[in-house]
Amino acid sequence: MVAARAELSAQAREDCGRALRDALLELPEMGMAGIVAAYYSIGAEPATRRLLYGLWKRGTYVLLPILRPDGDLDWASYEGPDSLVPGPRGLLEPGEPARGVGAIARADLVLVPALAVDRSGTRLGRGGGSFDRALARVGPLIPRIGLLYDHELVAEDLPAEPHDCPVTAIARPAPGVTRLP
């Protein structure tokens, strides 16, 4: 999955990011969300820059993660593209004051990075468990949407550990948002 992403051109990633932005901004749950917990994409991940900016410009309170030394995620507000600062592992993080690891529990919707997702919502991440720890703090009725490229919804079951938290939907550029059981 990582190799397939690396083959995508920067333009293809931006085009996919634009399609994801459009699909997600039209989602009724997104329109009603006062607080959205998300992430700022890096490398070959589907681009989130335009989506975050669009949410922020329309008045949605956007929380972005700050990677803590223990691998857990703290959260701080996104105050536009100029509010981001370099973080560990090549991440861009909000420069605003941290709100605590529990801040994600106040989100009305959570956007989650993923390398692949299966039909049951099992998410393949990067192996650090940071987002799974954060998702464990989110209520069961809160939408958790994994952002993927079109080919990353897989038919076979992905391996899951007891601590893995499934996503409830995925967003892909061409088909848009797909709700999962």
Mean pLDDT, residues 9-13 taken together: 92
Supply φ then ψ for residue 169, to 5 degrees.
Answer: -160, 165
Q: What are the pLDDT digits (tens) for 120-179?
A: 999 998 878 899 999 999 999 999 999 999 999 999 999 988 888 999 999 999 999 999
Q: Mean pLDDT, to the nearest integer, of 20-47?
A: 96
**What are the structural domain ranges in the chain?**
2-179
pTM of the model: 0.95
Are 62 and 78 in contact by the 8 Å Cβ rule? The answer is: yes
- pLDDT greater than 80 at residue 19: yes
CATH of domain 2-179: 3.40.50.10420
Tell me the per-residue pLDDT of 60-75, one tens digit each, with 9 for 90 and over: 999 999 999 999 999 9
What pLDDT does residue 129 have?
87
